[in-house]
């Protein structure tokens, strides 16, 4: 037996051995076991720009208010199609360099919404740039801080072809002869946010969620013979961030839907095609992304009906079959 009161060397050796043993059990072995994770087949590695955006995301403290984890509970279904798994973090957990491990992006609170699938929920670059310059431009009640130091003011005549101009207007920026231009860091950050898309599990299932009898995508209107989802909820979830809940849009960024000739047209084909294919024909507004992969025929029909019957619009309703026929036509001509 050691007499630790007298054998100080033995005490130090024992303490070091105990520390090494506990470190192996608590840290080293679990960390080694966690390396046995592979990315999902549909998951893409972060490119150099996206990895730069990841570092901006970390350095600006975004993880303090945003999570990147979909839990196995019903209330989290809005954030992703399935619960998160270790493979989802395969690329984001790669080392920053020889000495530094990428910090965890799971987050611990949702002062702002979860970002696991933000690349699908909000794919438009202009929206993210406006949101980062001043969140109130696109979300009126947002408490998120602004990040003006990621942008710069430039004289209109000094703007070059490579500059990305942010369409800020109204009370948020009205300096004559000046424009807001996105800096390199914010462009990297936006590219990273656009890359956050939840990959499908190989067998195509979303196993693990507690079955729900009523979700946003499955809410059925009892008096609707077409049995379409709740168009209002889908609009809020998918469209309101840009076109606003009141359908008024944002001047210089996103067009209004209230009173729109496209929305109120007796023939809804153009409106449906815009949702399916996206739209970039009006230079005074930001580009609208395609939602063909994110929304089903029934969901698009529900959104179209909501927009054509809200904010004073009085156009006729459409059904999922019409959306399906237009989708099929678009697919055929693109083949």
Give me the pLDDT at residue 237, please. 85
Give me the pLDDT at residue 309, please. 94
Domain shared by 144 and 92, yes or no: yes
Q: Using an 8 Å Cβ cutoff, are 94 and 102 in contact?
A: yes
Rounded to an integer, what distance in angstroms lies between the CA atom of residue 239 and that of residue 260? 15
Give me the pLDDT at residue 87, please. 83
Mean pLDDT by 10 residues, the chain (335 residues): 74 91 88 71 89 94 94 88 85 77 85 94 92 92 94 91 88 86 97 93 48 37 59 88 86 85 93 91 78 91 94 93 92 82
Q: Is the pTM of this model over 0.85?
A: no
Give me the pLDDT at residue 200, please. 80
Domain shared by 284 and 304, yes or no: yes
Domain shared by 148 and 250, yes or no: no
Q: Is residue 67 part of a domain?
A: yes
Give me the pLDDT at residue 136, please. 92
Give me the pLDDT at residue 4, please. 67
Domain shared by 163 and 61, yes or no: yes
Write the CB contacts of 318 (distance below 8 Å, at least 6 apart in sequence). Answer: 268, 272, 301, 304, 305, 308
- Looking at the 3D structure of the chain, how many domains does it have? 3
Question: What angle is formed at CA 323 by the lines to CA 322 and CA 327, rounded to 5 degrees?
Answer: 120
Domain shared by 191 and 241, yes or no: no
Domain shared by 246 and 132, yes or no: no
Tell me the residue range of the domain where 263 lies: 216-334
Domain shared by 184 and 264, yes or no: no
Q: What is the CATH number of the domain that holds 164?
A: 1.10.760.10
Give me the pLDDT at residue 35, please. 64
Give me the pLDDT at residue 117, please. 94
């Amino acid at each position: 037996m050691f007499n630790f009161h007298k054998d100080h060397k033995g005490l130090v050796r024992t303490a070091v051995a105990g520390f090494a043993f506990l470190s192996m059990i608590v840290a080293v072995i679990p960390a080694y076991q966690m390396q046995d994770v592979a990315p999902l087949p549909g998951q893409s590695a972060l490119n150099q720009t996206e990895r730069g955006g990841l570092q901006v995301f970390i350095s600006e403290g975004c993880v303090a208010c945003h999570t990147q984890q979909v839990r196995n509970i019903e209330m989290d279904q809005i954030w992703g199609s399935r619960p998160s798994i270790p493979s989802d973090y395969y690329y984001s957990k790669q080392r920053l360099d020889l000495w530094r491990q990428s910090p965890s992006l799971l987050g611990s609170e949702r002062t702002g919404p979860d970002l696991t699938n933000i690349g699908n929920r909000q794919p438009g670059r202009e929206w993210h740039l406006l949101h980062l310059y001043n969140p109130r431009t696109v979300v009126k009640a947002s408490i998120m801080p602004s990040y003006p130091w990621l942008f710069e003011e430039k004289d209109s005549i000094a703007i070059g072809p490579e500059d990305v101009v942010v369409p800020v207007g109204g009370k948020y920026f009205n300096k004559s002869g000046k424009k807001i231009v996105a800096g390199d860091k914010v462009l990297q950050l936006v590219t990273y946010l656009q890359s956050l898309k939840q990959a499908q599990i190989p067998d195509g299932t979303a196993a693990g969620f507690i079955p729900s009898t009523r979700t946003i995508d499955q809410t059925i209107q009892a008096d609707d013979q077409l049995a379409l989802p709740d168009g209002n909820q889908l609009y809020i979830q998918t469209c309101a961030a840009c076109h606003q809940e009141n359908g008024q849009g944002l001047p210089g960024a996103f067009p209004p839907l209230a009173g729109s000739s496209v929305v109120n047209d007796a023939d809804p084909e153009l409106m449906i095609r815009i949702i399916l294919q996206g739209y970039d024909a009006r230079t005074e507004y930001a580009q609208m992304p395609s939602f063909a992969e994110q929304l089903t025929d029934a969901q698009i029909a529900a959104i179209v009906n909501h927009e054509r019957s809200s904010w004073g619009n009085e156009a006729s309703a459409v059904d999922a079959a019409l959306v399906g026929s237009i989708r099929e036509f678009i697919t055929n001509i693109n083949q």
